[in-house]
């Protein structure tokens, strides 16, 4: 009850931090999809690039997030404190699931179907547009789902370099040893992750059905 | 043969491995003729078929389609003017029957109205009621219905040449027989040049004007079904078209 009261008292701040958090996640995901999907398609056409690029994306994932945010602070132009460098770090983390799922999604399309398209006289671009992308789309969306949930969680840590968002509550809670603040950050973040995941899950299902 | 629709001249192809997939295959197919390439898997029949629409490029030899070397055709044009039917998987699973059939016309830039009319006409042709099937997706169809849609799609842009790779291979005997009968009727009505690949001897005997028997990359014999039965070129062909087959087909 005490917690509920706390939430009611602070609802303005909680809502604005949630909104800030959502913006951070939204912007990062937008860029990650915009970069990751075309890059994944490119890798299916230039197979030689796949091992180094997927390896790089894999390596980024192994860097502890707090360390990556820290590394970005002294870097000029792209780095520093605040939303910009946080976005860059979040994009780097979200890239791997999107890149990998796009690449494997396209590669796992039945080669017989692709050859049938070729036999019908489709150009490479037409095969991509009519066969490979639509058939790989559920896998691509699954990658975006994973990346989104990941990013909602990671974005709380971005507060450490001044990016704002729900992480502000959590860090405040830790410093003040006040679990109410921690919950004020963690609970909306969890709800956000579940809600976005469900939303994308519906998009995925709708695509499979139609 | 005057002006063959398709001609292969000493076509060879090796994919690596011990023996070539095709060695010096030569044949001529007349306009409006149905040639069935008959052989077991690995005999080179599918590879031969794919050299015709340039899905396979031969190591040596020449392939002519309507008098023009396939190397000098634009592969996209060549394929759009060549119907291609394959076993089972040829339909795009995410598109409706109507969209599958209208795909090549769409690539060719036909108007929606024209595509629609053509699709309905073709569904009738392959004995599928348009109003019941146009909007279905491939997974909602039976094997036989899928194959009919596959044939309709290959015919969509009215290509003079049809390549069919084991189109009835996945069907049960009853449906298979039914589609074969319909195929014969279509064959006689539409006057297309058809190259048909199968490993099924009765099917070859039933559908072909001429049968090309293939084994280990070589074309052993190319003759009418009757000649293949009565005067097999060698012991292999004789064993392939065994006596019981002869009775089954000629006795019925």
In the Cβ-directed half-sphere of A134, how many Cα atoms lie within 13 Å?
A: 17
Helices A11-45, A167-176: axis angle to 10 degrees equals 120
Pairing type for strands B210-215 and B193-198 reads unpaired
B223 shares a domain with B212: yes
Across-strand partners of B8? B27, B63
Q: Which residue of B has its CA nearest to A116?
A: B90
B104 shares a domain with B36: no
Among candidate residues A85, A65, A59, the one with its CA nearest the CA of residue A74: A85
3-state secondary structure labels for all residues of chain B: CCCCCEEEEEEEECCCCCCCCEEEEEEEECCCCEEEEECCCCCCHHHHHHHHCCCCCCCEEEEEECCEEHHHCCHHHHHHCEEEEECCCCCCCCCCHHHHHCHHHHHCCCCHHHHHHHHHHHHHHCCCCHHHHCCCCHHHCCHHHHHHHHHHHHHCCCCCEEEEECCCCCCCHHHHHHHHHHHHHHHHHHCCEEEEEECCHHHHHHHCCEEEEEECCEEEEEECHHHHHHCCCCHHHHHHCCHHHHHHHHCC
pLDDT tens for chain B, 252 residues long, are 768 899 999 999 998 877 889 989 999 999 999 999 999 888 999 999 999 999 999 999 999 999 889 989 999 999 999 999 887 667 888 899 999 999 889 988 999 999 999 999 999 888 889 889 999 999 999 888 888 898 899 888 889 999 999 988 878 888 889 889 988 988 888 889 999 999 999 999 999 999 999 999 999 999 999 999 999 999 899 988 875 555 556 654
Pairing type for strands B6-13 and B22-29 reads antiparallel
| Chosen domain end from B128, B159, B190 | B159
**What percent of chain A clears pLDDT 70, i.e. is strictly above it?**
99
Rounded Cα distance, A202 and A185, in Å: 26
**How far is the CA of B209 from the CAs of B49, B50, B162, in angstroms?**
17, 20, 14
B181 shares a domain with B249: yes
| Chosen domain end from B159, B174, B190 | B159
Task: Please indicate whether, in this complex, the C-beta atoms of A121 and B107 are within 8 angstroms of each other.
Answer: yes
Range of the domain at B183: 1-81+161-252
3-state secondary structure of A75: coil
Low-confidence ranges of chain A (pLDDT < 70): 208-210
Q: Closest Cα of chain A to B79: distance in Å?
A: 5
> Quick one: DSSP state of residue B237?
H
Place of tokens 């983390």: A93
A120 neighbourhood in chain B, CB within 8 Å:
79-80, 84, 103-104, 107, 153
A113 neighbourhood in chain B, CB within 8 Å:
89-90, 92-93
Minimal Cβ distance to B55: which of A113, A115, A123: A115
Rounded Cα distance, A88 and A63, in Å: 14
Question: Which sign does the torsion angle of CA B205, B208, B214, B220 carry?
Answer: positive
Q: Which residue of A has its CA nearest to B78?
A: A121
Rounded Cα distance, B25 and A118, in Å: 24
B4 shares a domain with B43: yes
Q: Give the model's pLDDT for residue B170.
A: 79
User: Within an 8 Å CB–CB cutoff, is residue A130 touching chain B?
Assistant: yes
Task: Please indicate whether, in this complex, the C-beta atoms of A117 and B84 are within 8 angstroms of each other.
Answer: no
> With contact defined as beta carbons under 8 Å apart, do A147 and A97 qualify?
yes
A131 neighbourhood in chain B, CB within 8 Å:
92
Cβ count near B100 (within 10 Å): 23
B188 shares a domain with B153: no
Q: Closest Cα of chain B to A32: distance in Å?
A: 27
3-state secondary structure of B163: strand
Place of tokens 């192809």: B13
B126 shares a domain with B206: no
B155 shares a domain with B34: no
**How far is the CA of B113 from the CAs of A59, A141, B117, B118, B120, in angstroms?**
53, 34, 6, 9, 11
- Which tokens in the block code for residue B180? 């074969």
B252 shares a domain with B166: yes
B67 shares a domain with B117: no
Task: Please indicate whether, in this complex, the C-beta atoms of B79 and A126 are within 8 angstroms of each other.
Answer: no
Task: Please indicate whether, in this complex, the C-beta atoms of A119 and B103 are within 8 angstroms of each other.
Answer: no
Q: Give the model's pLDDT for residue B252.
A: 47
Interface of A with B in 166-195 (CB under 8 A): none
3-state secondary structure of B64: strand
- CATH code assigned at B9: 3.40.50.300
Rounded Cα distance, B54 and B56, in Å: 5
Q: What is the end-to-end Cα distance of chain A in Å, rounded? A: 46
Chain B positions contacting chain A at CB under 8 Å are: 53, 55, 75-82, 84, 86, 89-94, 103-104, 107, 153, 163
Rounded Cα distance, A176 and A12, in Å: 21
> With contact defined as beta carbons under 8 Å apart, do A89 and A72 qualify?
yes
B187 shares a domain with B64: yes
User: Within an 8 Å CB–CB cutoff, is residue A110 touching chain B?
Assistant: yes
Q: How many folded domains does chain B comprise? A: 2
B53 shares a domain with B167: yes
* CA B71 to centroid of chain Cα atoms: 21
Task: Please indicate whether, in this complex, the C-beta atoms of A120 and B86 are within 8 angstroms of each other.
Answer: no
Task: Please indicate whether, in this complex, the C-beta atoms of A123 and B55 are within 8 angstroms of each other.
Answer: no
B6 shares a domain with B120: no
Task: Please indicate whether, in this complex, the C-beta atoms of A113 and B103 are within 8 angstroms of each other.
Answer: no
| Chosen domain end from B129, B159, B189 | B159
Which strand (E) or helix (H) includes residue B112? helix B112-125
């Amino acid at each position: 009850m005490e917690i509920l009261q706390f939430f009611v008292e602070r609802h303005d701040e909680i809502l604005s931090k949630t909104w800030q958090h959502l913006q951070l996640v939204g912007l990062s995901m937008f860029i990650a999809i915009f970069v990751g999907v075309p890059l994944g398609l490119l890798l299916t056409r230039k197979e030689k690039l796949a091992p180094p690029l997927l390896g790089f994306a894999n390596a980024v994932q192994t860097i502890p997030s707090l360390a990556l945010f820290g590394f970005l602070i002294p870097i000029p132009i792209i780095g520093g404190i605040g939303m910009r460098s946080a976005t860059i770090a979040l994009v780097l983390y979200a890239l791997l699931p999107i890149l990998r799922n796009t690449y494997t999604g396209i590669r796992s399309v039945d080669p017989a179907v692709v050859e049938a398209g070729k036999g019908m006289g489709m150009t490479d671009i037409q095969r991509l547009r009519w066969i490979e992308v639509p058939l790989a789309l559920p896998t691509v969306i699954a990658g975006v789902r994973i990346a989104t949930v990941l990013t909602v969680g990671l974005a709380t840590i971005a507060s450490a370099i001044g990016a704002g968002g729900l992480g502000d509550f959590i860090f405040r809670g830790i410093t003040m040893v006040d679990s109410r603040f921690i919950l004020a950050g963690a609970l909306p973040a969890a709800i956000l992750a579940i809600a976005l995941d469900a939303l994308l899950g519906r998009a995925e299902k709708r695509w499979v059905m139609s | 043969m005057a002006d063959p629709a398709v001609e292969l001249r000493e076509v060879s192809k090796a994919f690596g491995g011990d023996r070539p997939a095709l060695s010096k295959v030569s044949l001529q197919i007349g306009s409006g003729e149905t040639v069935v390439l008959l052989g077991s898997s690995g005999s080179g029949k599918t590879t031969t078929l794919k050299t015709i629409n340039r899905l396979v490029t031969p190591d040596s030899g020449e392939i002519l389609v309507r008098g023009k070397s396939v190397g000098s055709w634009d592969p996209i044009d060549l394929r759009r003017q060549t119907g291609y039917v394959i076993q089972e998987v040829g339909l795009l699973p995410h598109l409706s029957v109507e969209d599958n059939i209208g795909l090549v016309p769409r690539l060719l830039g036909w108007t929606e109205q024209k595509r629609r009319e053509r699709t309905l006409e073709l569904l009738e042709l392959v004995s599928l009621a348009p109003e019941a099937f146009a909007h279905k997706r491939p997974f909602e169809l039976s094997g036989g219905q899928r194959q009919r849609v596959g044939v309709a799609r290959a015919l969509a842009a009215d290509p003079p040449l049809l390549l069919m790779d084991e189109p009835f291979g996945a069907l049960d005997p009853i449906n298979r027989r039914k589609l074969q009968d319909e195929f014969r009727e279509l064959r006689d009505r539409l006057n297309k040049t058809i190259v048909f690949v199968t490993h099924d001897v009765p099917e070859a005997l039933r559908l072909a004007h001429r049968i090309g028997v293939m084994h280990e990359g070589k074309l052993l014999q190319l003759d009418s079904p009757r000649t293949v039965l009565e005067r097999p070129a060698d012991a292999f062909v004789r064993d392939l078209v065994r006596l019981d087959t002869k009775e089954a087909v000629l006795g019925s």
